[in-house]
């Protein structure tokens, strides 16, 4: 392939990219992982720091009034830990969106997500039963949409979705997938029998 030539196939995720507003949604909900176990881990880290902050406040308020406390030096470690954690979470979410990949190919839909642990799902169009676009309350606030692809498997609702696109992209992705599903359905029926 030439260095400056046109690529043969531009992935759908580059044509209709995720919105970076998704970072703020995930930070507000503490949804810093795609898996429930990962979400529990992040929530426990934030709650541990919150409890540590409460402990700091209790020690500060229970200190006798005749002893002066240098609040800046007293709270600096806690503020530093919170700052590092928030910066790490923002960087992680930015990398998550930057590496999120989906492509509506000729024969199947491919979705790959994850930063450290990559997960990929490939769905042939003949197995897709439904494609819908939805919003939860936080998506509505941030003007984000999710495209869900349903198959007969239980994992499809969790894994087979593209989340965090704008309204126009969601509609175009849905229509593109439905076109491929219809084309795959016609191909199956036409080769089925005489």
The structural domains of the chain, with segments of one domain joined by +, span 12-184
Instruction: Judge contact between 162 and 146, C-beta under 8 A.
Output: yes
**Spatial distance between the Cα atoms of 68 and 17, rounded to a whole number of angstroms:** 54
85 or 137, which is more confident: 137
* pLDDT reading at 31 higher than 80: no
| pTM reported for the whole predicted model | 0.73
Average pLDDT, the chain: 81
**Spatial distance between the Cα atoms of 124 and 112, rounded to a whole number of angstroms:** 15
Is residue 194 very low, low, confident or very high in pLDDT (cuts 50, 70, 90)?
very low
Residue 139 buriedness (CB in 10 A; 0-12 / 13-18 / 19+) = middle
The mean pLDDT value for 85-106 works out to: 89
The mean pLDDT value for 92-100 works out to: 89
DSSP state of 127: G
Is residue 85 very low, low, confident or very high in pLDDT (cuts 50, 70, 90)?
confident
The mean pLDDT value for 100-125 works out to: 90
pLDDT at 37: 63
CA angle 99, 100, 101 (to 5 degrees): 105
Is residue 189 very low, low, confident or very high in pLDDT (cuts 50, 70, 90)?
very low
30 or 87, which is more confident: 87
Phi, psi of 34 (to 5 degrees): -80, -20
**Spatial distance between the Cα atoms of 102 and 1, rounded to a whole number of angstroms:** 22
Please name which of 169, 18, 188 lies closest in space to residue 95, comparing C-alpha atoms. 18
Please name which of 37, 118, 59, 47 lies closest in space to residue 85, comparing C-alpha atoms. 47
Is residue 193 very low, low, confident or very high in pLDDT (cuts 50, 70, 90)?
very low
């Amino acid at each position: 392939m030439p260095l400056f030539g046109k690529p043969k196939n531009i992935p759908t995720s580059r044509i209709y990219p995720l919105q970076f507003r998704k970072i703020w949604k995930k930070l507000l909900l503490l949804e810093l992982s795609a898996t429930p176990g990962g979400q529990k881990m992040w929530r426990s880290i934030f709650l541990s720091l919150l409890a540590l902050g409460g402990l700091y406040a209790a020690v500060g308020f229970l200190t006798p009034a005749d002893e002066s406390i240098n609040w800046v030096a007293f709270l600096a470690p806690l503020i530093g830990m919170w700052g590092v954690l928030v910066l790490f979470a923002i960087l992680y979410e930015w990398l998550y969106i930057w590496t999120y990949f989906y492509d509506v190919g000729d024969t199947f839909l491919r979705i790959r997500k994850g930063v450290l642990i990559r997960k990929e799902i490939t769905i042939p169009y003949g197995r897709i039963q439904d494609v819908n676009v939805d919003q939860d309350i936080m998506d509505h606030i941030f003007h984000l949409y999710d495209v869900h692809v349903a198959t007969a498997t239980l994992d499809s609702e969790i894994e087979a979705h593209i989340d965090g696109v704008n309204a126009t992209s969601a509609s175009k992705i849905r229509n593109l997938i439905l076109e491929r599903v219809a084309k795959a359905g016609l191909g199956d029926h036409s080769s089925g029998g005489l």
